[in-house]
Amino acid sequence: MSKIKTHLKIGGALVLSLLVQRGAFALELDPAIFPEFTIGGRAVATVNAEAMETAGGGDEQDAKLDIGDSSLLLGFSKYLFKPGQYAYAGLGLRVAEEQRDIAQGMFLSQAYAGIGGPRYDLVMGRHRLPNTLLHFPVLREDDLLDFSVVANASSVSSAEEDQVFGNLVQAAWWWRPAWKFDAALTGRAERDVGGALGAQDFNGASIGLAYQLPTAFKVARGLRYAAVRIDQQNARAVAGLDNVAVSSLLAALSYHLNDDPESDWAADVQAIVRSGVDVASLTNPAARARAAFTSVTAALRYAHRPQLQTRWRAALLAAWQNYGDFNEANALLAGASYVYRLGSGVDVAAQYFYRRNDDVLAAALGYQSDHRVQVGLVFAFDMIFNESVAERGGLLDFEHHMGGSGPAGLGE
């Protein structure tokens, strides 16, 4: 009888243990909370006409339809357990430019995850590189890529896939609402002359300091944005070039010329200075990205915004670059852009640029001067479902778009 009681006790204990464990698992609930979901995109279709004077003195003309830089973006956000803290993730696809140096019609521009709060933001993954400070009012990033972005010294391709996007871990901290410090480890693409893409290991870093006074804080004439950044690359051996360290300094400011948000005048300027290393010539994009270099890009822009709804925008742009270790290696660019808004997110856009290269740079690039005219339509949208998370910035802030003139960076 005692043995039966003992077995019953042991059996009961096992059953109770199983029930407790089942109850413990049942109590470990992960609520199926639907995230805030954002889908955004930008379709760009333009007719491009170009007239070029080659380095040899000949003339070339070309006209084509261009859908480059069209993009589709998905974003997701959730609150964390701690009040005011949030998490987010994003995925983006972009149509590559036709003049790209790599065989790729559409590429993954964004694949990132991050967390943030009122004073900090941390993002990891494939993302825009922190190698520029301002978005300028142009149709496509390629239009000013040679002047406004710190070039990739580890790739022989000048395509934006390697120049604008890469892997990173980037953190930002706001110790005042208008003051931000950021730091990043970057993994730029490593591409050799055969077009093969190497592993995008960490091969650089950057630190930056910015002051920004958004319109939501105050509508007033004066300095609205100022920033400096140091960009460091451990450039890998490609195309006969050695492993070297390349450092660049960026500085930028945006100054609003009036205090009327319905008739907004602003001036933007950005400078890049790279000490550089000795290179034999400028024919290779990776070599140009390592050479001593100075560039200045500026824009004067106006937005007509009755009742705070943009109806049209116009801008004048100018840029200059110089490769300091080479004589006759300067370039000048001047242009204008105009956008007329037909409806929310639907624009008719026109743009003209003229570029002139000095003899040495012309021999390296293959042309002396270039006239470019672009006219077309832009359709942009940004839809939020289950809006519930007040994260910093928005999905399209991570992609370039013509209406997004101003600061470029994490969480803007």
The Cα 100–Cα 128 span in angstroms is 18
Summarised one tens digit per residue, pLDDT across range 19-63 is 445 544 555 666 777 888 999 999 999 999 999 999 887 889 999
Rounded mean pLDDT, 364-379: 95
Summarised one tens digit per residue, pLDDT across range 325-366 is 898 899 999 999 999 999 988 999 999 999 999 999 999 999
Q: What pLDDT, on a 0 to 100 scale, did the predictor assign at position 387?
A: 82
Beta carbons of 399 and 42 less than 8 angstroms apart: yes
Summarised one tens digit per residue, pLDDT across range 298-310 is 999 999 999 888 8
Q: What pLDDT, on a 0 to 100 scale, did the predictor assign at position 389?
A: 81
Q: What pLDDT, on a 0 to 100 scale, did the predictor assign at position 342?
A: 95
Summarised one tens digit per residue, pLDDT across range 107-128 is 888 999 999 998 999 999 999 9
| All structural domains of the chain | 1-31 (no CATH), 42-70+132-391 (2.40.160.10)
Summarised one tens digit per residue, pLDDT across range 199-226 is 678 999 999 999 988 766 667 788 999 9
Instruction: Provide Rg for the chain, Cα atoms.
Output: 26
Beta carbons of 265 and 256 less than 8 angstroms apart: yes
Q: How far apart are the first and last CA of the chain?
A: 77
More confident residue, 321 or 388: 321
Summarised one tens digit per residue, pLDDT across range 62-91 is 999 999 889 999 999 999 988 889 999 999
Q: What global pTM score does this model have?
A: 0.86
More confident residue, 29 or 275: 275
Cα atoms in the 13 Å half-sphere on the side-chain side of 242: 6
Summarised one tens digit per residue, pLDDT across range 221-269 is 889 999 999 999 998 888 888 889 999 999 999 999 988 888 889 999 9
Summarised one tens digit per residue, pLDDT across range 131-163 is 999 999 999 888 999 999 999 999 988 888 889
